[in-house]
Structure 1
């Protein structure tokens, strides 16, 4: 059972999968879309700086500095099979998804109440940010091409595992605090995963667990963090 939660915060940081949007859309639509295009993307974007950096990171992670494209695609596919949040995989997926969104082949999922809640919080003076394991490029594309239209204007910034760090480490949330310039005690994080909520709280943030029926993490719960079933149950007040 969840109930309404009231939080005082200047900065609101949201996760995506299982929080603003259905995990099933990522797993059933976006993952296969990127998998089918990894080889072609790498072959045709060898000079793209983000692609080049991602390929170098793959070679470093697998310990094979001279490996060819076929071996890189195999490594990426293995990480994708295991749903590993590996930075070069997320970078390449983000680039591929961005192209797909721009081409009109993809439209991102949002739960029905999310856009209204985000607009309400931003209108109330809160600054909104995203922290997701998906790359910053993927996050921007996601909110640019959502079911509710282009929502990028609502956000003050985006963070991923490359710009902030792993989502289960308090140091990543401390890095975001430093980047926003807003004290940790005036920042709230919304996520469906208890490990991430624990890390955010350890960094001094307020937290709200989002438990949506049907999501993979719903039955696991959110520990002792305040819990809601959707964004409509969250009231965010400005600091005094």
Structure 2
């Protein structure tokens, strides 16, 4: 079967995770409950760790409850999980918990069958690969470091989240990543299942492909007027220079 999408002159590929490289269902059904069960102990026992303390303060600020104690923060985090809110402090605390779970071997990440071969092929072709996810950088590194095929971090050149880049539906976040990776916007391709993210990337001058996988939350919504692929194996990329 011929590729659904083909691009020339691509130097960098930036990928979303949920719904793009990996199943959202795995994150919601496995990782979310794992973190929910451990928020309380993390907040109670490690409150003085800088990352935990900062995230707790961010929760209090976002909730408008400056006096919220650990138990109240845990309840707020639980409600945000129920809403699937992409809140930075939630993602920070999840990242801490997940990183430790992956390191202990209690968690192993999930990838669609077409993902890892595509990443390896693109890297071998000289493309630079980056991740931009609402999950924290710590969570992203744990995800790619503990896969069914071992450590995939060497395939990747950078990790970006809502803290070091910004909100995923803001064109300014993509401009910030452009500045960080040093690739011309026109030579950067973004892959995501979410139309709002694709729109923001295109507004920043990037090229885009909507990855539309059956069973994913955004499948019925579609990807707007962006090029569409059902998997990474339907995308052929070539660089402008050897």
Name stretches of at least 5 consecutive residues in structure 2 with no aligned partner. Answer: none
Give the corresponding residue for 1:102: 103
**How far apart, CA to CA, are the structure 1 residues paired with 2:15 and 2:149?**
17
2:48 corresponds to: 47
Aligned to 1:92: 93
Q: CA deviation at 1:61?
A: 1.1
The equivalent of 1:231 in structure 2 is: 232
Structure 1: distance between partners of 2:184 and 2:25: 34
Aligned residues: 239
Could you tell me which residue of structure 2 aligns to residue 197 of structure 1?
Answer: 198
Which residue of the partner structure matches residue 5 of structure 2?
5
TM-score by length of 2: 0.96
Partner of 2:65: 64
Please name the residue that 1:210 is paired with: 211
Structure 1 ranges of 4+ moved more than 4 A: none
Distance 1:48 1:102 in 2: 19
The Cα of 1:3 is off from its aligned counterpart by 5.3
Offset of 1:236 from its aligned partner? 1.1
**Gapped runs of 5+ residues in structure 1?**
none
- Which residue is equivalent to 2:81? 80
**CA distances 1:53-111 after superposition (whole Å, capped 9, x unpaired):** 10111111122222211111111111111000000000000110111100100001000
Contact 2:114/2:231, CA 8 A, preserved across alignment: yes
The secondary structure found in structure 2 opposite 1:106 is: coil
RMSD of aligned alpha carbons? 1.1
Distance 2:52 2:158 in 1: 22
User: How many Å separate the matches in 1 of 2:73 and 2:158?
Assistant: 31
- Which residue of 2 is the match for residue 30 of structure 1? 31
Q: 8 Å contact 2:3–2:233 — kept in the other structure? A: no
